[in-house]
Amino acid sequence: MSLSFKLSKSVLSTISPPIPAAYKWVTKPGRVIGEPYDMSQGVPGTAPHMILQQSLRDTALRQDAFGYCPAEGELTIRSALAKEMKVIYGLGSNKESDQVDITSSDVAITSGYEVILPVPWYFNHQMTLTLLGVKPVPLITLPSSSFFPSPSVAASLISSKTRAIALVTPNNPTGAIYSPETLFEFAKLAHERKIALILDETYRDFIVPPGISPHGLFLKSSELNWRSTIISLYSFSKSYRIPGHRLGAITAAPELLKEIAKVLDTLQICAPRLPQLALASPLPSSLQLSPTPPSTTPNTPSTELDGPMLGPIPTLSALRPDIQSTALAVQARQRLFKSTLEKEAPKWKILSQGAYYAFVQHPFPGHGSEEVCRSLMEEVGVRLLPGAFFFDKVDMKENDLDRYIRFSVANVSDDKVVEVCKRLKEAERIFQEEFGWEILNSYRYTPKLASSLWVKVKFNMESGPGMRCA
């Protein structure tokens, strides 16, 4: 039965969610391979630390934990997060609780305007923009530049309709960690052109070694007044391993947060209250974790947890050693993935990796990433995300753009990483012997990529307003 009313054009023009599409793929009957391995979705591979689980249980028994809270979030967690950010970005960071809102990670952008997004992009950013009538303008990044976006190319894309540049660092899907110098150049560009720089820093805690600052934009000594330009997004999903609780944060100028509160109140009234209270609840000294040894890297900020912890501190801050330990484990798993892939399936080439992800080129020319990923699940029980999910629907094949695959390295064990690499080798045999697919022996980067892609920057796209954390 057809609907008797019309749906929004912006909704109809928005792509369907990619993750559910990948979960429709199943292993063919008769393929005896053991359990399927899932490296598709960027989700923590383990439950939250027991300290946080206990805090969530205790908070759920509180009689005052079930009502509304301010649209801006609980003051206790806002204050705790502001202090935690001074640890992350350096003790000279100029941030207070009135510059932090606790949200489910949406930011309002005016319909009819444009936002510059590096490509490959995080698909939920592109989807959010198209839903809200904002046009995403692609800023192409290439393996030849380690998938770093170019400030000068971004400058050439700014028009009278541009309202923001949005960057994800560490990046989803490439894993690229943008340097402080690159971020400063983008902040300077945004400041000069009077547009916003939106930094999605969901994976900032996975920059290693622990204690190294993602950038210096928030420091009092910075050349720029960050409040006039920067909007920083954060998610508690990855660092605290609570993705189902949908809790995020926005750091911005108080004047902007006042206006954003209107949007938050309309969209959801308030962010989920239970995880806010649990993360802000004080933890007795007897339960606090031992700090991770401080970094020996020069010019890195010290952390407040590197010394003795006296008296109760918020659970949020008490979990910093656990977060640092997890980051080191993920980094080690990335190294394991690289070495094992080079040993077991050397025709698969890692183009970029860092934090949660590795961006890999498959060795099957003439076959798109979606076809390869579907076949991997059907034949050897490995679920991955095609690079095609992170691009607009353009002619990718002629430029080798459709040979990228995202591996979510963080959400599986070390043993499974090794087994996945072995299955990729088995997939090569099946695809070649049974399907007749050609296999390249080495990574081939076509020089025409750089010249031809800039011509295609003006994709024929429609777009839409809030930004969801990667």
CA distance 341 to 335: 10
Q: Residue 366: left if φ>0, alpha if ψ -120 to 50, beta else—which one?
A: left
pLDDT digits (tens, 9 = 90+) for 262-278: 888 888 888 999 999 99
Phi, psi angles (nearest 5°) of residue 189: -60, -50
Instruction: Name the CATH topology of 61-283.
Output: Aspartate Aminotransferase; domain 2 (3.40.640)
Q: What is the model's pLDDT at position 249?
A: 93
pLDDT tens digit sequence for 435-453: 999 998 755 544 333 333 3
For the segment(s) 17-45+324-455, the CATH number from 3.40.190.10, 3.40.50.10490, 3.90.1150.10, 1.10.10.10 is 3.90.1150.10
CATH 3.90.1150.10 occupies which residues in the chain?
17-45+324-455
pLDDT value of residue 93 = 63
Residue-by-residue DSSP string for 78-116? HHHHHHHHHHHH-TTB---GGGEEEESS-----TT-EEE
- The set of residues, in sequence order, having a beta carbon less than 8 Å from that of 317 and lying 6+ positions away, is 80, 83, 84, 87, 304, 305
**What's residue 12's pLDDT?**
84
Q: What is the pLDDT of residue 94?
A: 65
Residues of the chain with CATH 3.40.640.10: 61-283
Listed in sequence order, the DSSP H helices in 158-287 are: 180-193, 236-239, 254-268, 273-280
pTM: 0.86
Backbone angles phi, psi at 275, to 5 degrees: -65, -30
Q: Which residues of the chain have pLDDT under 70?
A: 1, 32, 91-109, 284-311, 394-400, 442-470
pLDDT at 146: 92
